[in-house]
Structure 1
Amino acid sequence: MRTPRTRTMILTAMVGVLALAGCAGGDGDEEEPPLGQTPKVMRPADVPSLPMNQYVLDEKEMRAYTQAQAVLSRRCMERFGMSWLTDAQVTADLPNLGADPVRYFTIIDAEAARLHGYGDPDGQDAKEKGGTGGYEPTAAERAVYDGTAKGVTDTAGKPLPEGGCAAEVDKEMKLGGAEGVNPLTVGNEFYSLYAKVLRDSRVTGAFTNWSACMKEKGFAYQTPLDAANDTEWKSGAATRAAIAVATADVACKQQHNTVGIWYAAMAAHQNAYIDKKAEHFSEVLANKKALVENSARIMQGA
Structure 2
Amino acid sequence: MTSRRPSRPLACLLLAVGPLSLSACSSAGSGAPDVPASASTRAEAVEHVPEPLPMPLDPYRLSGADHAELYAAEQALVTTCLRGFGVTYRSPAGSSSAQPPPEGPYGVTDPDWARKYGYRLPPALIATDHGSRPLPDPTTVALITGGVTYDRNGTPQRISDQPLLTTHHGRKVPEGGCLGEARRTLAGRNDNRDPTRIGSALYAQAYRDSQQDPRVTAATADWAACMKQRGFTYRTPLEPANDPSFPRNPPADERERATAVADVACKEKTGLVALWHRVESEIERSLMRGHGTELAAAKADRDARLAHARRINAGAKTSG
- How far did 1:125 drift? 3.3
Deviations for 1:218-248, whole angstroms, at most 9, x for unmatched residues?
3333322233433212746633332333222
- DSSP 3-state at the match of 1:48: coil
Deviation of 1:54 (Å):
1.8
Match among 288, 295, 300 for residue 302 of structure 2: 288
- State the SS of the aligned residue for 1:161: coil
2:116 alignment partner in structure 1? 115
The reply to whether residue 76 of structure 1 matches residue 81 of structure 2 is yes
Cα distance in 1, alignment partners of residues 282 and 66 from structure 2:
26
- Aligned equivalent of 2:210, options 197, 207, 221: 197
Q: Check 1:217–1:292 CA distance in 2 against 1; reply closer, same or farther (3 A cut).
A: closer
1:152 maps to 167
Please give the root-mean-square deviation of Cα atoms over the aligned residues, in Å: 3.9
Q: Deviations over 1:63-113 (max 9, x none)?
A: 5433432332223212211122359736486746xx72xx21112122333
Q: Helix, strand or coil: the match of 2:94? A: helix
Return the alpha-carbon distance in structure 1 between the equivalents of residues 22 and 78 of structure 2.
31
SS at structure 2 position matched to 1:173: helix
Instruction: Return 243-252 or 192-201, whichever deviates more.
Output: 243-252
The residue correspondences of 1:237-256 to structure 2 (distance < 5 A) are: 238-256=252-270
Could you say if the C-alpha distance between residues 172 and 243 of structure 1 is closer, same or farther in structure 2, counting changes exceeding 3 Å? closer
Partner residue of 2:283? 269
Q: How many residues align?
A: 263
Q: Superposed, which structure 2 residues align to 1:3-22 within 5 Å?
A: 9-11=10-12
1:53 maps to 2:58: yes
Distance 1:13 1:200 in 2: 31
Max radius of gyration: which structure? Answer: 1
Mapped contact 1:17–1:191 kept (Cα < 8 A): no
TM superposition shift of 1:130: 4.9
- In structure 2, relative to structure 1, the CA distance for the partners of 1:45 and 1:178 (3 Å cut) is same
**Cα-to-partner distance string for 1:196-230 (whole Å, 9 max, x where unaligned):** 11110110111122222223333333322233433
Q: Give the match's secondary structure for 1:105.
A: coil
Query: Structure 1 residues 271, 8: closer, same or farther in 2, change over 3 A?
Result: closer
Q: Which has the higher contact order (CA 8 A, sep 6+)?
A: 1
Q: Tell me if the contact between 1:83 and 1:141 (Cα under 8 Å) persists in the aligned partners.
A: no
Identity %: 24
User: What CA distance in whole angstroms lies between the structure 1 residues aligned with 2:137 and 2:82?
Assistant: 12
Instruction: State TM-score, norm by structure 2.
Output: 0.66
Q: Would the alpha carbon gap of residues 222 and 180 (structure 1) be closer, same or farther in structure 2, given more than 3 Å must change?
A: same
Specify the SS of the correspondent of 2:10.
Answer: helix
SS of alignment partner, residue 273 of structure 1? helix
TM-score by length of 1: 0.70
Cα distance, 1:296–1:127 mapped onto 2, change above 3 Å: closer
Deviation at 1:189, TM superposition (A): 3.9
What's the counterpart of residue 183 of structure 1? 196
Provide structure 1 residue ranges, at least 5 long, that are not aligned to the other structure: 1-6, 19-42
| Bigger fraction of residues in helix | 1
Q: 1:133 and 1:197, CA in 2 relative to 1: closer, same or farther beyond 3 A?
A: same
Cα shift readout 1:260-297 (whole Å, capped 9, x = no counterpart)? 11111121112222224222111100111221233355
Moved more, 144-153 or 250-259: 144-153
Partner of 2:136: 137
Task: Tell me the residue number matched to 1:89.
Answer: 94
C-alpha displacement of 1:17: 9.2
Structure 1 residues 78 and 259 mapped into 2: Cα distance closer, same or farther (>3 Å)?
same
Judged with a 3 Å threshold, the aligned counterparts in structure 2 of structure 1 residues 48 and 176 are, in CA distance, closer, same or farther, namely: same
CA–CA distance in structure 1, aligned partners of residues 314 and 231 of structure 2: 59
Amino acid at match of 1:49: P
Q: Which residue number corresponds to residue 30 of structure 1?
A: none
Residue 259 of structure 1, CA deviation: 0.9
Match of 2:183 among 148, 152, 170: 170
Q: Distance in 2 between matches of 1:54 and 1:259?
A: 21
Cα pair distance change 1:188/1:132, threshold 3 Å:
farther
